[in-house]
Amino acid sequence: MLDGSRTVNDVKTFLKPYIDVDPQQRMKLYDQWAEMYEQDCNLISYRAPNQTVDFLNANFSGSREEVLVLDVACGSGWVAKLMAELGFRNFVGVDGSKGMLEQAAKTGLYQDLRLALLGTEPLPAQTDGFDVVMIVGALRDGYVPVSVVRELCYAARPGGHICMSRGESGPTYKVCLEKELQLMEDEGLWTRVISQEMDRYMMDVYNNLKDQHDDQYLYGTMYLYRKALK
Ligand SMILES: C[S@@+](CC[C@H](N)C(=O)[O-])C[C@H]1O[C@@H](n2cnc3c(N)ncnc32)[C@H](O)[C@@H]1O
């Protein structure tokens, strides 16, 4: 049920017990949060879906109506809703939270929705099967491990695009992620099309970066890769 009286502090209080939990526990958070997720995310200025979809749109020249999109960690379907406004039509979604997938199903946009806890279970996607692979809001500690990035690349068709964004969550994840992105490029799996910084990914609701900068917003980075042709 939507609750218009909810405040940023209510969201912070709700999220606090989940700061350092393992991925299984985190799925319980998202199951519980699913109905309020988008409303709460608007309260905390979560801008990653809009910024990442705009970033893809500005750098993608394929036929939006025809391409098949794999929306990884699709959550409530926010990314697909924004992409649909730009003419994308064909989506498959994957997420580890049943509750979030139920919300995604309500959008009516996905031809298939698949439950999988990534990092523990393999990405349920056919190799070379998708023109565009998206992951927004899930590349961070305690969410989707860096090792899954390789699976995202395998799921894209040769010449297909992989579009990722991540918010600041401490230095370790970023360093490991960027090392893996570069390693995959060195291995000839893909090439970077472009990357771009986001200065307002969302409010720092976990307050875990307060010693690193004064801004109450987290920074973020968006990456677009093109899978190598065989
Ligand atoms: C912040 S939400 C982002 C959802 C959507 N992409 C968006 O931007 O609104 C993070 C999503 O990642 C999912 N998630 C986190 N870790 C996961 C994992 N290891 N495997 C599958 N899904 C995961 C959560 O269930 C949640 O739906």
- Asked whether residue 157 is domain-assigned, the answer is yes
CA separation for the pair 167, 79 (Å, rounded): 16
pLDDT of 208 reads: 56
Please name which of 72, 91, 80, 26 lies closest in space to residue 49, comparing C-alpha atoms. 80
Q: Is residue 57 part of a domain?
A: yes
Domain interval for residue 28: 8-227
pLDDT value, residue 161 = 98
Q: In angstroms, how far is the first alpha carbon of the chain from the final one?
A: 49
Pairing state between β 110-115 and 90-95: parallel
Residue 68 belongs to some domain of the structure: yes
> CA 19 to CA 143: how far, in whole Å?
11
| H/E run at residue 50 | helix 48-58
Q: Is beta strand 217-227 parallel, antiparallel or unpaired with respect to 190-203?
A: antiparallel
* Ligand 1 atom 1, closest CA: 137
Average pLDDT per block of 10 residues along the chain, 230 residues long: 77 85 91 95 93 97 96 98 98 98 98 98 98 97 95 98 91 93 98 94 72 69 95
Residue 3 lies inside a defined structural domain of this protein: no
Task: Please indicate, yes or no, if residue 2 is contained in any of the structural domains.
Answer: no
Q: What is the CATH number of the domain that holds 185?
A: 3.40.50.150
Alpha-carbon distance of 142 to 122, in angstroms, equals 17
Mutate to test the pocket of ligand 1, among 100, 117, 120 (most ligand atoms within 8 A of CB): 100
Q: How many domains does the chain fold into?
A: 1
pLDDT at 27: 95
- In the prediction, which pLDDT does 209 show? 47
Ligand 1: distance of its center to the CA of 37 in Å?
11
Please name the residues in contact with 186: beta carbons below 8 A apart, sequence gap of 6 or more: none
**How much distance in Å is there from the Cα of 73 to the middle of ligand 1?**
4
The answer for 221, left when phi > 0, alpha when psi is -120 to 50, beta otherwise, is beta
